[in-house]
Structure 1
Amino acid sequence: MLLRLRVSLPDRPGGLGQVAKSLGALGADILQVTVLEREAGRAVDDFTVSWPGPVTPAQVRERLSSMPGVRIEGVWPTRDVPGSAPDYDLLMHVVAEPSRGFATLVDALPGLCGAEWSVAVADGAVRHASLAAPPEFEPPEAPPRAISMEGKEHRLMLLPVLTAGLHVVVARAEGPVFHRAEVERAARIVDVVSKLAARA
């Protein structure tokens, strides 16, 4: 089972190794580590791990809670396969068919962002929706800049596309609120796709 773990730990030599050792002792195979931030003496890292057998996020959190100075900020299933380049694949698809740029973007963003679904909204109505998007969704108002927020049932990332008069909503039910590093990455991808789609 592939899981993503968001871990806050002391930013000191050996801190990351301590977490890796504890994960290994629990039987997890670490496939990827992404550093999201380092400030105020702490680091926030995302681990993508392969966990043997079925395990729930609550069980993983319980098993890891004994590490001193370490906080588990989120545990959630992921489809993001380490070593792949889905962002480049997305951009290649958009280059090949720029007229479908935003539909392609909406289909790809959940996989890129460790989320379940996404939609593109214009004038309060959903224009494009990924496969797992709910049939009914009341979109939040378009923000002036890319942000993350806690929704009623999901953690949301809102990505405005001012040149196209729409905004993209990305949602995940499990895991923490989208980190600012995730929001910035997604915003850059949206910006590139919007420029490519504008050429269609």
Structure 2
Amino acid sequence: MLLRIRVRLPDRPGSLGRVARTLGAAGVDVVQMAVLERDKGRAMDDFTVAWPAGAGVERLAEGLESVPGVSVVGIWPTAEPQGAYPDAAVIGQVAAAPERGAEILADAVPAILSADWAGLAEPKGERGAVLVHASAGGEPGADLPGLLPLRPRAFTAPDGTQFAVCPLAGGGVALVVARTGAPPFHRTEVSRLEQLAAAADAVLAGAARVVGA
């Protein structure tokens, strides 16, 4: 299975190498790595690794925590999107079937952002929101926490679920992404969601103009 590992580490030469060696000694295969932030001598990185199904992650976390200056922010299951450029591939799929473009985007987002599920929701003001479409793992028709103000952002629900939300279709619906047992969505993840939504909106608006011509 694939795991996403988020760690904080000193932003100095050798730190990343020590983390990589620790992962290798634990028997994991690093699939990819992303730098989320670098500030004031510290960095936050995400690693996607292959890990034996059913194996506990405790010794993996303990090994990383034993590296001086390293702290584990979270370890959670993930899925690796197909292809070298998954964001571009998704927008291509949206363009190929614009009548289902918003749903295609929502179905693809969980793998891109290491989330449990995503969906399209209609905000209901202070009464929360209703999920009108859900990817695998979500429940269409389910009630959601309030999404207002509807802007690209991340928040934690009262039950601990981590959400990222972004307006879609000019704010007519909200693109909602959720995960549990994981850290909050980082600002780089929210930015990536915003970019995907903006690209999809541009493609769908262009398709609408062609149909209406």
Q: Confirm or deny a common fold (TM above 0.5).
A: yes
Task: Label 1:123 to 1:21 Cα distance change in 2 as closer, same or farther (>3 A).
Answer: closer
Aligned-partner Cα distance in 2 for 1:164–1:197: 14
1:131 and 2:136 correspond: yes
1:148 and 2:157 correspond: no
Q: Quote how far apart the aligned CAs of 1:175 are.
A: 1.6
Aligned-partner Cα distance in 2 for 1:19–1:130: 34
Supply the RMSD in Å over aligned alpha carbons. 1.9
Pick aligned residue for 1:188 from 182, 195, 210: 195
Aligned-partner Cα distance in 2 for 1:133–1:26: 33
Q: Which moved more, 1:147-156 or 1:170-179?
A: 147-156
The 8 Å contact of residues 100 and 197 in structure 1, kept in 2 or not, is answered as: no
Q: Deviations over 1:166-193 (max 9, x none)?
A: 2111001122101101110111001111
Unpaired runs of 5+ residues, structure 2, are 125-129, 209-213
Aligned-partner Cα distance in 2 for 1:21–1:172: 29
Q: Deviations over 1:138-176 (max 9, x none)?
A: 242233421111122411001122614121110011221
Larger radius of gyration: 2
1:10 maps to: 10
**1:1-200 correspondence to structure 2 within 5 Å:** 1-52=1-52, 54-81=54-81, 84-124=84-124, 125-135=130-140, 136-151=142-157, 152-161=159-168, 163-198=170-205, 199-200=207-208
Aligned-partner Cα distance in 2 for 1:112–1:81: 6
Unpaired runs of 5+ residues, structure 1, are none
Task: Label 1:29 to 1:81 Cα distance change in 2 as closer, same or farther (>3 A).
Answer: farther
Q: Secondary structure at the match of 1:4?
A: strand
Q: Quote how far apart the aligned CAs of 1:108 are.
A: 0.8
The 8 Å contact of residues 60 and 75 in structure 1, kept in 2 or not, is answered as: no
Q: Quote how far apart the aligned CAs of 1:134 are.
A: 2.8
Q: Quote how far apart the aligned CAs of 1:131 are.
A: 2.1
Q: Secondary structure at the match of 1:80?
A: coil
Q: Percent identity?
A: 41
Q: Deviations over 1:50-109 (max 9, x none)?
A: 124532344432332211100100101111158643222211111111121111111111
The 8 Å contact of residues 6 and 73 in structure 1, kept in 2 or not, is answered as: yes
TM-score for both structures, normalised by structure 2: 0.86
The 8 Å contact of residues 76 and 175 in structure 1, kept in 2 or not, is answered as: yes
Higher relative contact order (CA 8 A, sep 6+): 1
Q: Secondary structure at the match of 2:131?
A: strand
Aligned-partner Cα distance in 2 for 1:93–1:116: 21
State the one-letter code of the partner of 1:169.
V
Aligned-partner Cα distance in 2 for 1:44–1:127: 35
List, as ranges, runs of 4+ consecutive aligned residues in structure 1 with deviation greater than 4 Å.
none
